[in-house]
Amino acid sequence: MSRRPLCFSPALFAPFTAPSAARLSARLSAALATVFVTVLASAPLAAKELPPKPSVADVIKASQGAEWRALDPASTLYLELPAGRVVIELAPVFAPHHVENIRLLVREGYFDGLAVLRAQDNFVVQWGDPDEDRPRALKTAKARLAGEFTIPLTNDRGFTRLPDRDGHAPQVGHSNGFPSARDPKTGQAWLAHCYGTVGVGRDVGADSGNGSALYAVIGQAPRQLDRNITVVGRVVDGMPLLSVMPRGPGAMGFYDDPAQRVAIRSVKLAADVPEEGRSRLEVMRTDSASFRAVAEAQRNRGGPWTKVAAGHVDLCNVPIPVRRQGS
Amino acid sequence: MSRRPLCFSPALFAPFTAPSAARLSARLSAALATVFVTVLASAPLAAKELPPKPSVADVIKASQGAEWRALDPASTLYLELPAGRVVIELAPVFAPHHVENIRLLVREGYFDGLAVLRAQDNFVVQWGDPDEDRPRALKTAKARLAGEFTIPLTNDRGFTRLPDRDGHAPQVGHSNGFPSARDPKTGQAWLAHCYGTVGVGRDVGADSGNGSALYAVIGQAPRQLDRNITVVGRVVDGMPLLSVMPRGPGAMGFYDDPAQRVAIRSVKLAADVPEEGRSRLEVMRTDSASFRAVAEAQRNRGGPWTKVAAGHVDLCNVPIPVRRQGS
C-alpha cells in the first residue's frame, strides 16, 4: 500500500471489463511489445493503434526524487475523523490572513469536537460549529476577515502554465501544487475550485468568513465559486474519507438530524504533532518535467486501449501525484 | 421531499457559514429587496452588488409543465441496490445496439445478484459479474458489440448548443437531456463523460464490450474517455447511492475482498415494472427556454452573495433538473 501512489486525482486508468484486470495488464504489455515491433516495421497494425506512451503511473515511476517535495508542517492540517485522517495542504501565498487565522483556530482547539455539518452530492462536504445558538467562543482568532479571493499575480512566483485553454480564465496552471488561474489584464491570480479544493464558508458579506467553517469539493469542479470565496488549500490525502460521507437530506445537503453528523476528533497542524505521528507525504513538484509529463499523459493517452487521444486536459482533470515518503 | 427538485447536478447554492442557513435566507430576501430599491434609485450600494438574478431554483419554480418530459419506460433502468433505487436513462439514439443488448441482458435477469465491483475515488463506480472463472452465461444477449463511440451528427436531432467554449470539442451542449459534443468537420456527435454518465466497460478491443459491465462517473468529468467508450446513458436519480460507495482498496478501486462488494438485487426496465412500482420522474427538456435559463443562472449568478459572475459554465457543470411528477 505504501508503495502505491496516493493520487485521488482523476483516473490513472480507464474503466474496462472488470473481471479481466490481471489478464488485461498482461495483454497490455504484450500489446505494447507488439506495437513497438509493428511501429518499427510499420506494419498495418501500427496504423490501427496509437503509439504507446507512458501512462501517469509510468511517469510517476520514472520520476526523480528532486521532483517531489515534502509538505511544510506549518502549512499542513490533519483533520482527524473517526474513519481516519484527512491531510490538507494550506496555501499561505494565496490566503495569508485566513491561513494564519486557521492556525490560530487550530491551536485554540477550535475544531476539536465540532462536526461535519453538510454533504451535498457532487458539490461539497462542509465542517464547523453545529451550534447556531451558542457558537463556540474564539480566543485568539479573528471573527471576520476580509475575503482573500484573488492576489496580485506578481505575488505568485510558483506558477506553471498549462497550454490547455480554459473557459473561466485566460491562463490556468499550477502554483506550487495548487490548481490556479490568472488574468494578466487585471493582474490577478487565484486558486481554482477543483476536486479536493478547500475553501472558507462565508455569509453574504465578502468579509463574513474567518476559516472556522471550511468545505472541500467532492464533485465536478464548481468553478463559478472562483474569486468568490477564499480558497485556503487542498486535500492531499484521505479524500475518500470525505467523498463517501452520506449526503445530507436537508437543503444543500445539511444534516437535519444532529445524529447524522460526523464528529471531528481534532484538527491539528502537522508542526504540532510529534514526528512519529505525522503523515510522511510528498507531492510531485508542479514545476517539474515529470509533472508536465503527467499532464501530457492525461492529455494524450497512448495505445492500445485508447482509440482517440483527447488532445486536451481540463485544469481540474490533471492528476497531482502524492506519495508516501520513501515509496 | 417530493416537492424538492432532485438535481444531483452541480450546486444550486454556494457554501456559506453553516449555522446561519435560516438567517441567511431571510437576510438574502432582505438584501434582494434592498438591491431592487437601490438599483432603481441607483444608490452607491447598487454599484457594490451584482443585480439580482433568478437562481437555478427560481428558474425551476417558474418553469412551465410543457418544459418537462417523463422518462420513456422502455429506455429507463432501475438498478436496485440494498440502499435503494438508482434510475438510469438510456440513450438509444447514441448507442442503439448497446441499449438493445442491455434490454436483453436485463430481461434475462443477467444483472440480478451480481455486484458493484469497483469504486475509484473521483472516477467511477463499476458493476457487473465478479466471477472471472465462471462468468454468467448469456441467453439472448450478444457477447461482443462494435463500439458505439460516436454517431453521425445528423442522427442527433435533439442537440441544443451551449454558447460556452469547451476544450474537448468544437461544439458542446445537450441532446435530449444528455450532455453531448460534436465536431462538424468530422460530422461526428458523441455523449460526454460528466458526473452521472453511464458507460460500457470494455477491454482493449473496441468491440470487447457488450453492456454487461457498466460504470457511472462519480467525480470530475473524465472527458478523456469521450469517443473511447460507448456511453449508454446517465443517472437521473439515486446518484448518492453510488457516489458514497466505499472506495475499493485495490488498484483502480476494485474491492479485493468479495465481502466488500455491494450486491445488486436486480436491474429492471421501467417498462417491465408495474405502474405503481415506477419512479415518476420528469427531466427538464434541454431544448426549453427554462433550461437555457438554468444554464445562464449557473453561468452568471446575481448578487448579493456573488461578487464575480463567472461568465462561463462548463458543459458538465450545467445542472439538468429532475423532479418527481406532479411536484
* ipTM given for this complex: 0.88
8 Å CB contact of B20 and A310: no
Is the confidence at residue B20, as pLDDT, over 80? Answer: no
Amino acid A250: pLDDT? 85
In this complex, the residue of A31, A121, A128 whose CB is nearest that of residue B204 is A31
Share of chain A above pLDDT 70, in %: 85
Grid cell of B192 as nine digits:
460526454
Position A92 pLDDT exceeds 50: yes
B231 has pLDDT over 50: yes
Inter-chain touch A208–B17, beta carbons under 8 Å: yes
CA atoms of B84 and A91, how far apart (whole Å): 40
Give the closest-approach CA distance of B229 to chain A in angstroms: 9
pLDDT of the residue at B141: 98
pLDDT surpasses 80 at A45: no
CA gap A144, A101 in Å, rounded: 10
Indicate yes or no: CB of A307 within 8 angstroms of CB of B209.
no
A165·B165 Cβ contact <8 A: yes
Residue A255 neighbours by CB under 8 Å, 6+ apart: A116, A117, A118, A119, A248, A249, A261
Distance from CA of A283 to the nearest CA of B (A): 18
Rounded mean pLDDT, A92-106: 98
Chain A residues in contact with B131 by the CB 8 A cut-off are 19
- Confidence category of residue A247, pLDDT binned at 50, 70, 90: very high
Residue A47 has pLDDT above 70, yes or no: no
- For A156-185, what is the mean pLDDT? 98
Interface probe, candidates B220, B229, B239, chain A, greatest A C-beta count within 10 A: B220
Judging contacts by C-beta atoms under 8 Å, the chain B residues touching residue A237 are none
- Please state the pTM of the whole predicted model: 0.89
Instruction: Give dist(CA B44, CA B48) in Å, integer.
Output: 7
Top pLDDT among A70 and A256 is at: A70
B189-217 per-position pLDDT tens digit: 999 999 999 999 999 999 999 999 999 99
User: What percentage of chain B reaches a pLDDT higher than 90?
Assistant: 82
More confident residue, A238 or A325: A238
The answer to whether B80 touches B265, Cβ cutoff 8 Å, is: yes
* Closest residue in chain A to residue B220, using alpha carbons only: A220
Which pLDDT value is given to residue B303? Answer: 84
Q: What is the mean pLDDT of chain B?
A: 88
Residue A132: pLDDT band with limits 50, 70, 90: confident
**Average pLDDT of the segment spanning B97-103:** 98
pLDDT at A307: 95
Rounded mean pLDDT of chain A?
88
- 8 Å CB contact of A201 and B15: yes
pLDDT given at position B9: 27
Confidence (pLDDT) at B17: 43
Edge to edge, the sheet with strand A171-175 lists: A151-152, A188-191, A178-183, A171-175, A159-161
Rounded to 10 degrees, the C-alpha dihedral A301/B231/A167/A188 comes to: -70
Q: How confident is the model at residue B15 (pLDDT cuts 50, 70, 90)?
A: very low
With CA atoms as reference, report the closest residue to A162 among A282, A64, A285, A286: A286
Task: List CB contacts of B254: < 8 A, sequence separation 6 or more.
Answer: A18, A21, B117, B118, B248
For residue B249, the chain A residues in CB contact (below 8 A) are 1
Which carries the bigger pLDDT value, residue B263 or residue B18? B263
Task: Find where cell 517531489 sits.
Answer: A68
| Interface contact B122-A9, CB threshold 8 A | yes
Structure confidence at residue A206 as a pLDDT band (50, 70, 90): very high
User: B204–A8: do the CB atoms touch at under 8 Å?
Assistant: no
pLDDT of residue B326: 77
**B13/A252 CB distance under 8 A:** yes
pLDDT of residue A13: 38
The whole-number average pLDDT for the span A235-240 is 98
Mean predicted confidence (pLDDT) in B275-295: 98
Q: Is the Cβ pair A204, B228 closer than 8 Å?
A: no
pLDDT at A15 over 90: no
CA distance B274 to chain A (A): 28
pLDDT > 70: what percent of chain B? 85
- List domains and CATH numbers for chain A: 56-324 (2.40.100.10)
From chain B, pick out residues whose CB is under 8 angstroms from the CB of A307: 147, 149, 206, 227-228
Is B4's CB within 8 Å of A251's CB?
yes
pLDDT at residue A326, rounded to an integer: 77
pLDDT recorded at residue A318: 98
Helices (H), chain B: 21-41, 44-48, 56-62, 96-107, 239-243, 289-299
Model confidence at A236: pLDDT above 80: yes
Q: How many CB atoms lie within 10 A of CB A290?
A: 22
Neighboring chain A residues of B121 at a CB cutoff of 8 Å: 8, 239-240, 243
**Closest Cβ–Cβ partner in A17, A199, A304 for B201:** A17
Residue A28 pLDDT > 80: no
